[in-house]
C-alpha cells in the first residue's frame, strides 16, 4: 500500500467534519420535524467512519519520525490510542446506523429505540473524537510533531529552526520587559514613601531578580555592607528603604538591615 502519511492532516479534518455533522443530524432527526436528517445522518456517519479507518492507517505510517523526537514518544502513543478508540466506537455507531436504516425501512417498532441508542452513543463518540483531536493538537503544537518533515523538503526544517529561534527570542524579550517594569514600579514605590522602614523584594516567577544597582546610587551604608559580609551569603535582592541601598541578603540580614 502506498504511503499516505503526508495526507494525515487533511484526512483527520474530514473525519472531524463528517462525524460532527453526522451526529448532529442524528440528534435533529429525533425531533421528527425534518425527515431527510435520518438518512443524512447515516450517510455522514458511515463516510466519517471510513475516514477514521484511513486516518488511523495514515497516522501509523506517519508516527515513526515524530516518535523519535526527544520527549515526544508518550504524546504520540496517547494520540494513537485515542485515534484507535475513535475508530472503534464509530464502527459500532455505524452498525447501529445501518440497523436504524433497515428497521426504518421495514417500519419496525424497534426503529425508534435504535435511533435513540445511535444518538446517545454518537454523543459519546464525539467526546472520544475530541480527546483524539486534543492529543493530536498537543503533539503538533507542543512537540512540533511532524512539523517541517511532512514533505521531506530540507527548507521546511530550516524554516522550523528559524521559527524556534524567533519564538525563543520573543520570550526572552518579554521576560526582560517584565523585569524592567518591576524595577520601575519598585522605584516608584520607594519614591512615594522614602522613609518607610521596610524591605521590598523583586521577584520574577518565584525566582529572585539578579539585577545589580551600584550602591552609590542609593547611598549604601556601612551597616548593611557589614551585615552582608558577616553572613557571607546571597539569596534575594533586597532594597532597604531606611539606608537606601540594594543588597543581596538572607532573611536575617534583611531584618538586621531594616530594623536598625
Q: What is the pLDDT of residue 211?
A: 43
Return the domain boundaries, the chain.
5-155, 192-259
Q: What is the pLDDT of residue 17?
A: 96
Cell of residue 144, nine digits: 512540533
Gap between the Cα atoms of 219 and 46, Å rounded = 79
Q: What is the pLDDT of residue 170?
A: 80
Cell of residue 28, nine digits: 435533529
- Whether 11 and 51 have beta carbons less than 8 Å apart is answered as yes
Q: What is the pLDDT of residue 189?
A: 66
Gap between the Cα atoms of 83 and 128, Å rounded = 8
User: Would the pTM of this model clear 0.75, i.e. be above it?
Assistant: no
- Give burial (CB, 10 Å; 0-12/13-18/19+) of 223: middle
Q: What is the pLDDT of residue 190?
A: 66
pLDDT in tens, the chain (260 residues): 778 888 999 999 999 999 999 999 999 999 988 889 999 999 999 999 999 999 999 999 888 888 888 888 899 999 999 999 999 999 999 999 999 989 888 888 888 999 999 999 999 999 999 999 999 999 888 888 878 777 777 887 787 788 787 778 788 777 777 777 777 776 766 676 655 443 444 444 444 444 444 444 444 444 444 444 444 444 434 444 444 444 444 444 445 444 44
Gap between the Cα atoms of 118 and 124, Å rounded = 10
Q: What is the pLDDT of residue 89?
A: 96
Chain center to CA of 39? 38
Amino acid at each position: 500500500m502506498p504511503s499516505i502519511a503526508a495526507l494525515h492532516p487533511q484526512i483527520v479534518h474530514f473525519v472531524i467534519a463528517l462525524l460532527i455533522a453526522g451526529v448532529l443530524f442524528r440528534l435533529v432527526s429525533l425531533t421528527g420535524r425534518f425527515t431527510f436528517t435520518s438518512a443524512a445522518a447515516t450517510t455522514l456517519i458511515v463516510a466519517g467512519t471510513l475516514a477514521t479507518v484511513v486516518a488511523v492507517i495514515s497516522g501509523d505510517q506517519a508516527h515513526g519520525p515524530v516518535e523519535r523526537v526527544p520527549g515526544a514518544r508518550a504524546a504520540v502513543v496517547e494520540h494513537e490510542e485515542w485515534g484507535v478508540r475513535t475508530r472503534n466506537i464509530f464502527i459500532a455507531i455505524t452498525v447501529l446506523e445501518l440497523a436504524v436504516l433497515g428497521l426504518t425501512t421495514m417500519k419496525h417498532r424497534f426503529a425508534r429505540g435504535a435511533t435513540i441508542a445511535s444518538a446517545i452513543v454518537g454523543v459519546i463518540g464525539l467526546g472520544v473524537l475530541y480527546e483524539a483531536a486534543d492529543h493530536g493538537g498537543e503533539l503538533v503544537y507542543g512537540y512540533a510533531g511532524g512539523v517541517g518533515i511532512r514533505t521531506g523538503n530540507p527548507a521546511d526544517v530550516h524554516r522550523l529552526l528559524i521559527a524556534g529561534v524567533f519564538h525563543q527570542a520573543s520570550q526572552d524579550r518579554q521576560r526582560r520587559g517584565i523585569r524592567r517594569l518591576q524595577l520601575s514600579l519598585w522605584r516608584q514605590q520607594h519614591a512615594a514613601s522614602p522613609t518607610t522602614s521596610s524591605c521590598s523584594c523583586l521577584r520574577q516567577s518565584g525566582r529572585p531578580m539578579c539585577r545589580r544597582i551600584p550602591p552609590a546610587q542609593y547611598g549604601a551604608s556601612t551597616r548593611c555592607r557589614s551585615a552582608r559580609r558577616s553572613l557571607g551569603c546571597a539569596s534575594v535582592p533586597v532594597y532597604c528603604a531606611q539606608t537606601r541601598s540594594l543588597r543581596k541578603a538572607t532573611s536575617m540580614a534583611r531584618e538586621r538591615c531594616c530594623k536598625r
